[in-house]
């Protein structure tokens, strides 16, 4: 099936694949940015209980969380050109990369809308009322009271999503996008050293995701700095809403550990 | 837009023949993953010297790399080991005798094990320390404490995470097409390329997965309700 294992190939493959890392990171970053916009738009009708749109966003979220990303890739790859034809846009010469970005953006949009919702729900209702009672506007309440607290709650979940997205980009090669996994396929076929190729690729993914994890950990600690001080001293731990626990295993730890 | 709705239905029926493979992959990897997960979680919680470092490395590696990598690594490296073993010990079977499905099952179980270990760990750690001490105080053995006190409560807490992991494995099973296992994704590709109706086929495939996911979520919701009856209606 493949030739004798040779560790040297692993080292020679790493730089070759690293030269495609920026494409992988580009997919992650651009899909997250677009996903944030989509997520916000989708979360709003549900938070403000807007009749028809609320249903639409529920179906959207359920669909993108309920189907495999691989199927979504193919749906977008074959479906988007058809939709664009309706508005007279010819997408046949577009780079497949854009289809990958569109899929990951739609996918993360669904997850991000849930993250936004859970973050906002985690903020105590009383605080919002208090903010309004001292005369803050809706915008002020949001930016000064809700957002800082919501951010601290959602960072760990968001970190999981980003790393999940990074790993999901490995599927973009199935529609022909040339990112790291796509490159690894061509390297593997060219040299017939598949095992070495995938070891090299795994190492790159591992290092990148560990770096991302560390960065988010630092961010989380910064955001929670003030929180730790008061909770340790006075209040007992507040119960987080079900959605938060559902999304984030790390928050579900109640009681003391073994 | 030319969408052949009739063909979506035809594809839907055509894809059902591949459903058993998808379900086998999901069920086997979840169950095997649960076993691996419980072992690695316990090893880490009890801080067993060498084993806990190994499990930590295993969980970190698996969670830091895409599932596709695990599958491809197993698919390409396991035959090398099997063939080397066959040559060395004179076994009668070679890597070509191993069905592709076996590679998929092994790899997905390894993947699922790492995620399950985190699910199990957070579940077990949510059990109050005082209860465990109380159980020891009335003379239970460690195994009894785990089985009667820790596991039942840990299960309740980790049910949502468990559901997420099951759904994750269901969705992950689509990757098996890369090692030529005919699950729904592979069947979809076959149907699509022989009929030139790609969009319709993938819509049908998406509907099947969506249905399965909603079903799993419903079942988990019911189980959760049922469990919480004994819990005085509290969430956990």
Q: Test B69 with A201 for CB contact under 8 angstroms.
A: yes
Question: Of the given ranges (A152-156, A190-194, A240-244, B11-15), which has the lowest mean pLDDT?
Answer: A240-244
The reported pLDDT for the residue numbered A229 is 52
Q: Which of A67, A163, A256 sits opposite B206 (nearest CB)?
A: A67
Residue A153 binned pLDDT confidence (cut-offs 50, 70, 90): confident
Instruction: Report yes or no: A76 and A99 within 8 Å, Cβ to Cβ.
Output: yes
Task: Please state, in angstroms and as integers, the Cα–Cα distance from residue A46 to each residue in A53, A104, A140, B221, following that order.
Answer: 8, 22, 21, 21
A85, B1: Cβ pair inside 8 Å?
yes
Mean pLDDT of A219-228: 77
Pick the residue with more confidence: A245 or A176? Answer: A176
Residue A222: Cβ-neighbour burial (10 angstroms; 0-12, 13-18, 19+): exposed
Q: What is the DSSP string of A46-77?
A: HHTT-HHHHHHHHHHHHHHHHS-HHHHHHHHH
Q: Do B73 and A249 touch (CB under 8 A)?
A: no
Distance from CA of A137 to the nearest CA of B (A): 35
**What is the average per-residue pLDDT within A132-146?**
88
Residue of chain A minimizing CA distance to B210: A66
For A247, the closest chain B residue by CA position comes to: B161
Q: What percent of chain A has pLDDT over 90?
A: 41
Residue A177 predicted with pLDDT over 60: yes
Mean predicted confidence (pLDDT) in A248-258? 36
Residues of B in contact with A254 (CB under 8 A): 126, 157, 236
What integer pLDDT is reported at residue B164 of this predicted model? Answer: 92
**Residue in A72, A202, A250 closest to B69 by CB:** A202
Nearest to A252 by CA among B156, B112, B117, B223: B156
- Measure CB to CB from residue B203 to each of A75, A195, A255 and give the nearest one: A75
In a mutational test of the A interface, the residue from B46, B66, B117 whose CB has the highest number of chain A CBs within 10 Å is B66
Chain A nearest C-alpha distance from B204 (Å): 10
Cβ distance of B1 and A1 shorter than 8 Å = no
The CA-to-CA distance between both ends of chain B, in Å, stands at: 49
Give the chain B residue nearest A185 (alpha carbons): B72
Q: Which pLDDT score, from 0 to 100, does residue A3 have?
A: 62
What's the average pLDDT block by block, 10 residues per block, for chain B (236 residues)?
79 88 94 94 90 94 94 91 85 82 94 94 88 90 88 88 93 90 87 86 93 94 83 54
Indicate yes or no: CB of A71 within 8 angstroms of CB of B132.
Answer: no
pLDDT at A244 over 80: no
State how far the Cα of B153 lies from the Cα of B156, in Å rounded to an integer.
5
DSSP string, A175-238: GT--SHHHHHHHHHHHH--HHHHHHHHHHHHHHHHHHHHHHHHHHHHHHHHHHHHHHHHSSPPP
pLDDT tens for B27-53 read 999 999 999 999 999 999 888 889 999
**pLDDT of A250:** 41
Whether A64 shows a pLDDT value over 80: the answer reads yes
CA A140 to chain B, closest CA, distance in angstroms equals 33
Residue A234 has pLDDT above 60, yes or no: no
Does residue A36 register a pLDDT over 90?
Answer: yes
pLDDT digits (tens, 9 = 90+) for B98-121: 888 999 999 999 999 999 999 999
The 10s digit of each residue's pLDDT in A157-175 is 899 999 999 999 999 988 8
Contacts of B150 in chain A (CB under 8 A): 258
What distance in Å separates the CA atoms of residue B17 and residue A168, rounded to the nearest whole number? 27
- What does the mean pLDDT of chain A come to? 83
Q: Does A199 touch chain B (CB under 8 A)?
A: yes
- Distance in Å, alpha carbon of B108 to nearest chain A alpha carbon: 15
Best probe of the B interface among A28, A173, A198, by most B CBs < 10 A, is A198
| Residue A67 pLDDT | 94
Nearest to B28 by CA among B105, B119, B98: B105
Distance CA A182, CA A116 (A): 33
Q: How confident is the model at residue A236 (pLDDT cuts 50, 70, 90)?
A: very low
Contacts of B195 in chain A (CB under 8 A): none
């Amino acid at each position: 099936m493949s030739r004798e294992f040779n560790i040297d190939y692993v080292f020679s493959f790493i730089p070759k694949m690293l030269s495609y890392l920026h494409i992988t990171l580009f997919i992650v970053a651009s899909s997250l940015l677009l996903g944030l916009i989509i997520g916000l738009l989708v979360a709003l009708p549900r938070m403000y209980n807007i009749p028809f749109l609320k249903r639409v966003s529920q179906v959207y979220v359920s669909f993108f969380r309920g189907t495999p990303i691989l199927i979504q890739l193919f749906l977008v790859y074959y479906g988007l050109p058809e939709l664009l034809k309706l508005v007279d846009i010819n997408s046949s010469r577009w780079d497949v990369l854009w289809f990958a970005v569109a899929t990951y953006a739609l996918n993360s949009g669904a997850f991000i809308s849930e993250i936004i919702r859970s973050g906002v729900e985690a903020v105590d209702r009383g605080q919002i009322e208090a903010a309004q009672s001292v005369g803050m506007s809706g915008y002020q309440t949001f930016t000064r009271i809700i957002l800082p607290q919501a951010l601290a709650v959602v960072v760990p979940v968001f970190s999981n999503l980003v790393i999940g997205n990074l790993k999901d980009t490995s599927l973009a090669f199935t529609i022909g996008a040339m990112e790291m996994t796509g490159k690894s396929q061509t390297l593997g076929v060219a040299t017939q050293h598949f095992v070495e190729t995938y070891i090299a690729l795994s190492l790159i993914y591992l290092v990148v995701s560990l770096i991302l994890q560390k960065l988010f950990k630092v961010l989380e600690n910064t955001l929670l700095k003030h929180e730790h001080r008061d909770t340790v001293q006075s209040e007992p731990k507040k119960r987080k809403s079900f959605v938060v626990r559902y999304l984030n295993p790390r928050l579900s730890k109640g009681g003391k550990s073994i | 837009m030319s969408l052949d709705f009739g063909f979506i239905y035809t594809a839907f029926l055509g894809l059902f023949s591949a459903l058993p493979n998808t379900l086998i992959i999901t069920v086997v990897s979840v169950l095997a993953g649960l076993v691996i997960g419980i072992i690695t979680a316990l090893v880490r919680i009890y801080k067993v010297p060498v084993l806990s470092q190994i499990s930590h490395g295993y969980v970190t590696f698996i969670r830091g790399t895409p599932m596709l990598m695990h599958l491809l690594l197993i698919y390409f490296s396991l035959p090398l080991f099997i063939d080397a073993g066959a040559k060395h010990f004179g076994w009668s079977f070679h890597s070509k005798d191993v069905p592709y499905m076996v590679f998929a099952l092994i790899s997905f179980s390894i993947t699922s094990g790492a995620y399950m270990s985190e699910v199990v760990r957070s579940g077990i750690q949510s059990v109050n320390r005082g209860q465990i001490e109380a159980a020891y105080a009335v003379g239970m053995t460690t195994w009894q404490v785990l089985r009667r006190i820790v596991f039942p409560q840990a299960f309740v807490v980790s049910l949502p995470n468990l559901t997420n992991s099951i759904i994750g494995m269901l969705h992950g099973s689509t990757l098996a097409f890369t090692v030529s296992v005919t699950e729904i994704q592979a069947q979809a590709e076959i149907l699509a390329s022989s009929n030139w109706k790609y969009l319709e086929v993938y819509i049908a495939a998406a509907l099947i997965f969506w249905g399965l996911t909603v079903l799993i979520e419903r079942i988990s919701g019911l189980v959760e309700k049922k469990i919480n009856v004994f819990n005085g209606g509290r969430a956990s």
